[in-house]
């Protein structure tokens, strides 16, 4: 009696693993029909599983029953096949296929399931609009490129787990249903049926919880943590994502960075066979902002910014002088050997800079005979010209771009221009991988309203040497925050934490919290620190970003099985969706009627 549909056809080999050494062996393969071809009565089927393709041959004269069934199959049918591995011979070998030297001559075929016609070929070479891919995600995930990316993601999981376990950290899960805390983004809220009118929050990160684990004495923690943030999406951001989250007790900055470097090096070695250069360089925040205009630069691009604010402090060029008088800066980007940039391209760059936030983009070109070409050249004094040449090392063939604006705007515009022109002109130093740490971030910054806010989060420990400035000049206080950057991508960030409740309260005070408010919102944390918290610090890798970097994909949607669109929708699962009124009533919720809408 057959107990299941496979019967005696139990898989013995995967399709993509067959090689010449298997010739003469009887095998059973299972998979999907990738392609079917009828060559004068002999039927060839390329059978596909997650390891690759194998060619299966059905001959009417030797196995008429299997051949008759093979005539029925179509693309994406699910099959089990038993047969013998034979050599194709030198004239029939397919050199583009790992299994191209062999084929399976079928003796038995079982059709396990039929299939609707796929919306696109299950191949990598076919150009498919992303919206079509996401609507038909099951077919998209069958493509080899997606299978390989998600397999790489799995291997990265295993490498990270092994590396952190070997370094003495314990994998500990933290709750998915927690309380709302101010961490920089909107929370996803979950109504509590048993406590009407109250809500859980899905974790933006396990930050507080992992600190509490250190206070509780576990000394080393990690978790491949699911995190949720209700914020606007982009190519490298999803509403739910995965962090490699870790925390260590009794460490300083050097101790945490050593763990991060070892884990990163091992991951790249294990997963893609790359040996990253060690030790990772350590760059200061203010230094890289001055040189590159961003705290996550691709330093392989050999272009750097130059500060010319002092040169134009008393300039007769009104645009620059007014910017300096208003507290702004003049930053320049020198670009050598820029002859390939035409005047029309310069005009396009000026227009594009406005979309990046610039009010304008000035430029000067030096011709081969040393002459200046620029709409702004006639406004510059001889002294200013001399200083520009001195600071930028400009000469024949150079272009120098200028932005006069607030420092953050000038930095952002020129950093984007630097990447664009660096890639456009090939200003790269030849390194394939460029890992480094960024240190010495400020603890606080001013928001658009002029209020003091954390540059990263309120639990970052200040530099020990700057504790005296905390109450008097908080904007001068340096933090123990650190980032890991690779090829212009921030792979993650972390810091030492406040392990003393009095220092944590002083930080809350600098942020404008009264003691009562701080106690109401963070009393559990302050009380925990007072029980005897050890010095501790940690980090959170962006696991999805690391996977994207290793696979060379274009967006996070390329490395997630079921991603969201930029509107936060899963178009395959059709989420989010409406729910029944009965379910809302159980939760004590009622939908507000919008003008012209149909809500309650």
pLDDT computed for residue 600 by the predictor: 42
- CA 237, 243, 249, 253 torsion-angle sign: negative
Instruction: Tell me if 419 sits within 8 A of 425, measured CB to CB.
Output: no
pLDDT 10s per residue in the chain (600 long)?
455 778 788 999 999 999 999 999 999 999 999 999 998 889 999 999 999 999 999 999 999 999 999 999 999 999 999 999 999 988 899 999 999 999 999 999 999 999 999 999 999 988 899 999 999 999 999 999 999 999 999 999 999 999 999 999 999 999 999 988 765 678 999 999 999 989 999 999 999 999 999 999 999 999 999 999 998 776 668 999 999 999 999 999 999 999 999 999 999 999 999 999 999 999 999 999 999 999 999 999 999 999 999 998 888 888 888 999 999 999 999 999 999 999 999 999 999 999 999 888 999 999 988 889 988 888 888 999 999 999 999 999 999 999 999 999 999 999 999 999 999 999 999 999 999 999 999 999 988 888 999 999 899 999 999 999 999 999 999 999 999 999 999 999 999 999 999 999 999 999 999 999 999 988 888 999 999 999 999 999 999 999 999 999 888 999 999 999 988 899 999 999 999 999 999 898 988 865 554 444
Distance CA 240, CA 395 (A): 50
Residues in the chain, overall count? 600
Residue 288: predicted pLDDT: 96
In this predicted structure, what is the pLDDT of residue 184?
64
Cα(118)–Cα(122) distance, integer angstroms: 8
Q: Could you please report the per-residue DSSP string of 327-391?
A: T-EEEEEEESS-TT--HHHHHHHHHHHHHTT-S--EEEEE-TTS-EE-TTGGGS-HHHHHHHHHH
Distance between CA atoms of residues 430 and 93, nearest Å: 38
User: Can you give the pLDDT at residue 70?
Assistant: 96
129-282+434-441+481-499+535-591 CATH choice from 3.30.930.10, 3.40.1350.10, 3.40.50.1820, 3.40.640.10: 3.30.930.10
Q: Give the pLDDT confidence score for residue 246 in this predicted structure.
A: 98
Residue 545 and residue 551: Cα distance in Å, rounded? 10
> What's residue 594's pLDDT?
59
Cβ atoms within 10 Å of 254's Cβ, excluding its own: 8
Cβ–Cβ under 8 Å, residues 456 and 495: yes
Bridge partners of 80, per DSSP, are 30, 110
CATH number of 15-113: 2.40.50.140
Per-domain residue ranges of the chain: 15-113, 129-282+434-441+481-499+535-591, 301-425, 447-478+500-533
Q: Is the Cα torsion angle 251, 257, 261, 263 positive or negative in sign? A: positive
Distance CA 411, CA 433 (A): 24
Q: What CATH code would you report for 301-425? A: 3.30.1360.30
Query: What per-residue confidence (pLDDT) applies to 475?
Result: 94
How far is the C-alpha of 507 from the C-alpha of 182, rounded, in Å?
Answer: 14
What is the structure's pLDDT at 126? 85
């Amino acid at each position: 009696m057959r107990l299941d549909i496979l019967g005696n056809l139990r898989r013995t080999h995967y399709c993509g693993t067959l090689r010449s050494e298997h010739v003469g062996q009887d095998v059973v393969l299972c998979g999907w029909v990738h392609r079917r071809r009828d060559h004068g009565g002999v039927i060839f089927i390329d059978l596909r599983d997650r390891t690759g393709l194998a060619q299966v041959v059905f001959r009417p004269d030797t196995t008429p029953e299997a051949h008759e069934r093979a005539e029925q199959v179509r693309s994406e049918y699910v099959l089990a096949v038993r047969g013998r591995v034979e050599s194709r011979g030198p004239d029939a070998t397919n050199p583009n296929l790992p299994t191209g030297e062999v084929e399976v001559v079928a003796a038995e075929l079982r059709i396990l399931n039929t299939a609707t016609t796929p919306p696109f070929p299950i191949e990598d070479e076919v150009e498919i609009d992303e919206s079509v891919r996401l609507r038909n995600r099951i077919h998209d995930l069958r493509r080899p490129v997606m299978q390989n990316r998600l397999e790489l993601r799995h291997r990265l999981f295993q490498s990270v787990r092994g590396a952190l376990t070997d370094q003495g950290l314990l994998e500990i899960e933290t709750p998915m249903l927690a309380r709302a805390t101010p961490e920089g983004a909107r929370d996803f809220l979950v109504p509590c049926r048993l406590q009407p009118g109250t809500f859980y929050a899905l974790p933006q990160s396990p930050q507080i919880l992992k600190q509490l684990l250190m206070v509780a004495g576990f000394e080393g923690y990690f978790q491949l943590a699911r995190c949720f943030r209700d914020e606007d999406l982009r190519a490298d951001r999803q509403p739910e994502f995965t962090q490699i989250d870790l925390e260590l007790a009794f460490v300083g900055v050097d101790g945490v960075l050593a763990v991060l470097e070892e884990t990163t090096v091992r991951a790249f070695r294990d997963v893609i066979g790359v040996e990253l250069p060690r030790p990772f360089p350590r760059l200061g925040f203010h230094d890289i902002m001055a040189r590159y205009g961003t705290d996550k630069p691709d330093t392989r691009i050999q272009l750097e910014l130059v500060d010319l604010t002092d040169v134009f402090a008393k300039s007769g060029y009104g645009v620059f002088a007014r910017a300096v008088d208003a507290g702004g800066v003049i930053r320049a980007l020198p670009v050598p050997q820029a002859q390939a940039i035409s005047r029309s391209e310069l005009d396009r760059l000026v227009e594009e800079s406005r979309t990046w936030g610039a009010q304008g983009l000035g430029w000067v070109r030096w011709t081969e005979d040393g002459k200046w070409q620029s709409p702004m050249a006639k406004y510059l004094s001889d002294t200013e010209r001399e200083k520009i040449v001195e600071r930028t090392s400009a000469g024949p063939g150079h272009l120098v771009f200028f932005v006069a604006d607030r420092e953050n705007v000038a930095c952002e515009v020129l950093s984007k221009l630097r990447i664009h022109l660096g890639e456009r002109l090939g200003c790269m130093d030849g390194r394939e991988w460029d890992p480094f740490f960024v240190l010495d971030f400020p603890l606080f910054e001013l928001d658009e309203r002029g209020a003091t806010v954390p540059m990263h989060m309120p639990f970052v420990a200040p530099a020990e040497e700057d504790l005296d400035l905390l109450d008097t000049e908080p904007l001068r206080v340096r933090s123990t925050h650190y980032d890991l950057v690779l090829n212009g991508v921030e792979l993650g960030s972390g810091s030492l934490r406040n392990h003393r409740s009095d220092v944590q309260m002083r930080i809350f005070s600098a942020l404008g919290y009264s003691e009562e408010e701080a106690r109401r919102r963070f009393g559990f944390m302050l009380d925990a620190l007072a029980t005897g918290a050890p010095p501790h610090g940690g980090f959170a890798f962006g696991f999805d970003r690391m996977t994207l970097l290793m696979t060379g994909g274009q967006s996070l949607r390329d490395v997630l099985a079921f991603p969201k669109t930029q509107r936060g929708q899963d178009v395959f699962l059709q989420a989010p969706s409406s729910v029944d009124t009965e379910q809302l009533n159980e939760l004590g919720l009622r939908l507000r009627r919008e003008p012209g809408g149909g809500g309650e």
